[in-house]
Amino acid sequence: MNTHIPHPEQLHPDALQLLKEHNFSIIEGGDGYNAEIVISPVSHSMTCDEVEKYPNLKYIVRTGVGTDNIDGIICGERSIEIINAPGSNAFAVAEYVVTMMLTLSRNIHLLSGELWKGGWRQPEFIGNDLKDNIVGLIGFGAIGQHLAKLLLSVGVERIVYYDKHLDDDPQIDERIVRLNLNEVLATAKLISIQIPLLPETKGFLSMKEFELMQKGSYLVNVSRGGVVNEDDLLTALNETILMGAAVDVFENEPNPRRDLIDHPKTICTPHVAGYSQSSQREMSMAPIRELIKRTESLDV
C-alpha cells in the first residue's frame, strides 16, 4: 500500500525500517496525495481540507497519542481509520509530572527567581517535602495510574483522583481515593491534570474551579492547552490561589502567550512531557505495529 510520510524527520528510523520490511511503498515528503496511508505526527493537523487532498486514503497513522487535530467527522464519512499510540508515552509524562511536583512543592521556581534577581533564599519561599502534600489527579487513565504509583514510591501518603470516564476504581492502593471533582480541588494542595481536549473539556479548569482550591496550591497541566483557561490561570496565579504552575501545553502552539511564560510563578516547557528517547521510539513503533496488524491480510 502506498504510504505517505510528509514529515519523515519526525518518524523514528526503526519505525521506517519496519514499514520497509513489510513492503509498504514509501513516499517521503513532497507530493504523496495518492497514498492510501498517511503517517501523521502530532504536529501535523489533518483538517478536512488536508484529508480531502487524499482521494484514496484509508488510514491515518498518528505517531503519538492526541488526535484532537484530526477531523474525525470527515474520517467517519469516508470510513478512514485513525490509528494512534495510546499509552505509549504515559510513563514519560508521569515522570515529568513528578519532576514538576517536586520542583513546585519546594518552590524551586521562586527561589531560582530570587537568585536571578541578586537575592538569596527567602523564608517565605521555603517549601514542603512532596510526601507532606495531598496530591490530586484529574484524569486516572494510563498516565494517572503510572503517576500514582510513582508518587507512592517517593513517600506520598494520600492521593485523591477524579475521572468521569473510569468505570471501575483500579484499587491500586488504599492510599488512593476516588472523589468528585470539587472534592479533589478542595482537598489536594498539588494537582495534576491529564485529560484529553474534547468539546466538553475545553476550559475544564476555569475561575470557578480555581476558587475551590486551597490558597497557595500548585497545578501541573499536561493535558492540552485548551483544557485550562489561560486567562483564569493567570488570575489564579496573581491572586495567590496558586503559588505555582507547571505548564507544558498551551492554547496557541508553538507560539504561546508571553505573559504566561514570563510569569514568575510558572515553569513552562514546550510540550515535551511525553518526549523521552524511549517514548519517542514507542510513539512511532506502536501505531506502525497496529497498522501492520490491520493490513497483514492485504497485499501491502
Structure confidence at residue 24 (pLDDT): 97
Residue for cell digits 510540550?
Answer: 271
Structure confidence at residue 245 (pLDDT): 98
Helices (H), the chain: 13-21, 48-52, 72-77, 90-105, 108-116, 142-153, 181-187, 207-210, 230-238, 258-261, 277-295
Q: Are 117 and 33 found together in one domain?
A: no
Q: What percent of the chain has pLDDT over 90?
A: 91
- The verdict on pTM exceeding 0.85 is yes
For residue 22, the domain's CATH number is: 3.40.50.720
Q: Pick the catalytic residue from 4, 263, 271, 282.
A: 271
> Is residue 253 among the annotated active site residues?
yes
pLDDT digits (tens, 9 = 90+) for 83-95: 999 999 999 999 9
Distance CA 226, CA 249 (A): 8
Structural domain range at position 75: 2-86+277-295
Q: Pick the catalytic residue from 44, 146, 224, 263.
A: 224
Q: Specify if 300 maps to a domain.
A: no
Q: Is the pLDDT of residue 300 over 50?
A: no
Domain count, the chain: 2
Q: Are 77 and 105 found together in one domain?
A: no
Q: Specify if 247 maps to a domain.
A: yes
Q: Pick the catalytic residue from 78, 121, 253, 294.
A: 253
C-alpha cell belonging to residue 274: 511525553
Q: Are 105 and 81 found together in one domain?
A: no
> Is residue 271 among the annotated active site residues?
yes
> Is residue 224 among the annotated active site residues?
yes
Q: What percent of the chain has pLDDT over 70?
A: 99
C-alpha cell belonging to residue 9: 524527520
Q: Are 115 and 245 found together in one domain?
A: yes
